[in-house]
Structure 1
Amino acid sequence: MPSPITIIQCHLDQGNRSSRAGTRVVTVSVFESAFSSMPGRLPGHPAAKRRGSPGSGVSTSGSAAMPGPAPGAPVPPIRPPTDGFLFLDRDRFADSFAADVPAATAAFMADSQVPWGVDALDGAVCEPAWQTRPSWYLVATDDRMIPPAAQRAMSERAGATVTETPGSHAVYVSRPAVVAAVIAQAARAAGWPLPRPPRLAP
């Protein structure tokens, strides 16, 4: 019997946490607008560290996952911590996170966002799966949460098979067929028999 195929799909800082699933259970990794940390660091959400605010205890420096923002680059509207948790500013959520998503959907996403715990911003990745397993990366070229240049740098470091598409950070909502096609490509490469998808329009 062939070994089971485990595909781990990551978005945002799930890329860091999912990497800790370990090489023993991961067959391939699929990153979509996600962080991928180097061993020894788990910066949580580096954008949150960059954002910072007076008295927030959140560093404004860059991280092991990616450098600080270029001058004039969009900065995610992360509010100062409340009771140890971070949220995106609701009024600026759509522009930063979901600019190409219908307004009603973006508003729902803003209202239902799950906060990040400040304590989760630090930690360590011992053996990221992307170092020893194949990986695929979908770069969202209109992302205002993780700069596309940083996505390209992380995908290159991981030796990932890269696809680029126009899209916001919420590319899984605005262009689900593109996301599904990348996951299917990774699955077929891992030996999972899937029918060929129809050719997508650019």
Structure 2
Amino acid sequence: MDQAGIIRDLLTWLEGHLDQPLSLDNVAAKAGYSKWHLQRMFKDVTGHAIGAYIRARRLSKSAVALRLTARPILDIALQYRFDSQQTFTRAFKKQFSLTPALYRRSPDWSSYGIRPPLRLGEFAMPKYEMVTLPETHLIGTTQSYSCSLEQISEFRHQMRVQFWRDFLSHAPAIPPLLYGLNETHPSHEKDDEQEVFYTT
């Protein structure tokens, strides 16, 4: 396997283990290389230092947990392997320019500081276009479900398909334009879950 393939596999593995101990020694053992060789290979292929990448991804995952759950900040810090809330706060502020508490309470959720997972190969970010729609009267149904952060990716598609089936089965005619509106809030019942509202 070429270097890019090795690092691609390692990136996938890292993404599933960010809440577990990831010393350079055990990451190197997983990859089957010495830590010195792995660090050099990772930097050559990605342009990033492996330790800094892992830390940035852990902080990004913790930022999502801060916004989408009501879990205590210390619990989130410990989950993503920070040894204290103070250490977590220092690292978080360095990456996001806000303390975790201010980040959670901020009325806007900026993508500033978020480090998405690295993707090697044939992945292209989707193109987007910002538009302002004319004022329109919409008729629809809002449904919701609750899930943990780990479940949100697998549930999202299933729930949307089900919500659209329900909505369209009761529609007298299918309109020329359909909209799906998504909003997420921390759950009021469980602090480690979020409630997802989807309007068809």
- Report if TM-score (shorter chain) is over 0.5: no
TM-score by length of 2: 0.28
TM-score by length of 1: 0.28
